[in-house]
Amino acid sequence: MEFKAAIGLEIHVALKTKSKMFSAAPNYFSHEPNTHVTVYDMAHPGTMPTVNAEAVRHGIRLAHALHMDIDPLLRFDRKCYFYPDSPKGFQITQQFHPLGRGGFIEIECEDGSKKTIGLKRLHLEEDACKMFHRVEDTLLDYNRAGVPLVEIVSLPELSSGREAARFVEAIRHLVVYALASDGKMEDGSLRCDVNVSIAPRESDALGTKVEIKNLNSLRNIERAIDQEILRQSELLRQGMPIEGQTRRYDEASGSTKLMRSKAEAADYRYVPEANIVPIRLSEAFIAKAIEECPELYERKRERYLKLGISAKDADVILYDVAMAQYFDKVLACGAPTKAATVLFNVEVQASLHKMGKSIVEFPLEPKRLAELASLQEQGYPHQAVVQAFHYLLEHPKSTLEEAQLALSLTPPTQDEEGVLELVRQTLDENPRSIADYKAGKDRAMGFLVGKAIQAAKGRYGPSDIAKAMKEELGKK
């Protein structure tokens, strides 16, 4: 019997704000435990929550980008449970009145087609503290307690581990480029719970749902789902029922492990949060939050492709939001797109890797890289531009003119006779390459042009040499 899977995701995203969701405690990573806390975070009697306006703005931007209906009446609820990660004995969330409802996101399938995945809701809530389990005891770090989160819940419209991983990647691109979160799964800034059910392929009904908790990498999401589909399929083929369970993914064995049965699940007794009155968000507040959203990943990628940047090069630039911001500044300085892309994706990336630095620490200003890219447009050989690049990298306070003087770089001349003489000499020295070209081997042309450029030593522009070479070969 063949089965089909129905997969829904619940994605928790830690928001980038200066303070926590309901307190003034700082919201940034610290290696020193229990230092970013206030009396409210520790649930001291008489302390009251205050809603973080910036977290609400982030939620509005994300809901809008996901094509959701935004509720202008902000309301919160209590999720009541007793556990050491929550000193209050409850979590403040939005169970009954989420900030955003409906919506969708598109993912790219393996064949290049697009698939639309429906969304159920987006709501704001606070994170719990971090627990460190040891053999003899458990340590609690309340720095994370109260960190603002958005939870994005999809409809069960995904059908494989690969699709789910691409869904999460699309959400990560969205929250990172909206500057709502750093999206670092390895640090817990983006976490994912997965709901998997399978049913006979011809059936319209959904099977029994099994939840897999706290997946923190795209690879683990894909593997966990595929393994869970396999586990459930084998049970059904043996005539055994699927039980509602909460499971976890074990990387060592590559399989999911039972945590608890759904029959043991807690009753959270949701009630309205009495200490936060409903807040009416004005149309102006919502509109301003949306207007201030930066250019998002998909729109930026589309713009790059329209500029003539290849999909492969665009993906390299867009891998890191700070990279894309730097590259946009280079283009804004008037750099020619093609030359700027080559310099950025080859020389800049290689230099960053060698230095072990991020683009934020890169010593060259975007304006300087734009000037170097313009040199290539002026006809300077690529190698000469690369020499100037590395000189400026070692002397970041120097001007381009100083680099040219130090390296004895002179502008290529427009000496047509000189170019022609060089090309003819190159052809005379490489008769076999001429024969290869005439035999249809296009690589021979590139070889001959390269030889001529090398012999020119910067005297003539590469485009002039290539043009003359094509004309002379046509006469052979």
Tally of CA atoms within 13 A in the half-sphere of 339 that contains its CB: 21
Give pLDDT tens digits for 291-336: 999 999 999 999 999 999 999 999 999 999 999 999 999 999 999 9
pLDDT tens for residues 20-32? 999 999 998 777 9
Neighbours of 150 (CB within 10 A): 25
Contact 104, 158 (CB under 8 A): no
Cα 407 to Cα 386: distance, rounded to the nearest angstrom: 11
Domain extent listing, the chain? 3-280, 295-406, 416-475
Q: In this predicted model, what pLDDT tens digit does every residue of 213-249 receive, in sequence order?
A: 999 999 999 999 999 999 999 999 999 999 999 999 9
Percent of the chain predicted with pLDDT > 70: 97
**pLDDT reported for residue 472:** 84
Helix/strand/coil (H, E, C) string of the chain? CCEEEEEEEEEEEECCCCECCCCCCECCCCCCCCCCCCCCCCCCCCCCCCCCHHHHHHHHHHHHHCCCEECCEECCEEEECCCCCCCCCEEEECCCCCCEECCEEEEECCCCCEEEEEEEEEEEEECCCEEEECCCCEEEECCCCCCEEEEEEECCCECCHHHHHHHHHHHHHHHHHCCCCCCCHHHCCEEEEEEEEEEECCCCCCCCCEEEEEECCHHHHHHHHHHHHHHHHHHHHCCCCCCCEEEEEECCCCEEEEEEEHHHCCCCCCEECCCCCCEECCHHHHHHHHHCCCCCHHHHHHHHHHCCCCHHHHHHHHCCHHHHHHHHHHHHCCCCHHHHHHHHHHHHHHHHHHHCCCHHHCCCCHHHHHHHHHHHHCCCCHHHHHHHHHHHHHCCCCCHHHHHHHCCCCCCECCHHHHHHHHHHHHHHCHHHHHHHHCCCCHHHHHHHHHHHHHHCCCECHHHHHHHHHHHHHHC
What is the predicted pLDDT for the residue at 381?
78
Higher-pLDDT residue of 144, 460: 144
CB under 8 Å to 360, separation ≥6 — which residues? 322
Q: What average pLDDT does the segment 434-447 reach? A: 86
Tokens of 444: 């021979």
Average pLDDT over residues 405-420: 78
Per-residue model confidence (pLDDT) at position 266: 63
- pLDDT > 90 fraction of the chain, expressed in percent and rounded: 72
Backbone angles phi, psi at 75, to 5 degrees: -135, 145
Q: What are 114's strand-pairing partners?
A: 108
pTM, two decimal places: 0.85
Q: What is the dihedral of CA 220, 225, 227, 230, to 10 degrees?
A: -170
CATH class for the domain made up of 416-475: mainly alpha
pLDDT in tens, 340-383: 999 999 999 999 999 999 999 999 999 999 999 998 878 787 88
Q: Does 10 score more than 60 pLDDT?
A: yes
What is the per-residue pLDDT for 204? 84
pLDDT in tens, 178-223: 999 999 999 889 999 999 999 998 888 889 999 999 999 999 999 9
117 vs 470, higher pLDDT: 117
Q: Does position 265 have pLDDT exceeding 60, yes or no?
A: no
Q: For residue 83, what pLDDT is reported?
A: 86
Q: Are 167 and 107 in contact (CB under 8 A)?
A: yes
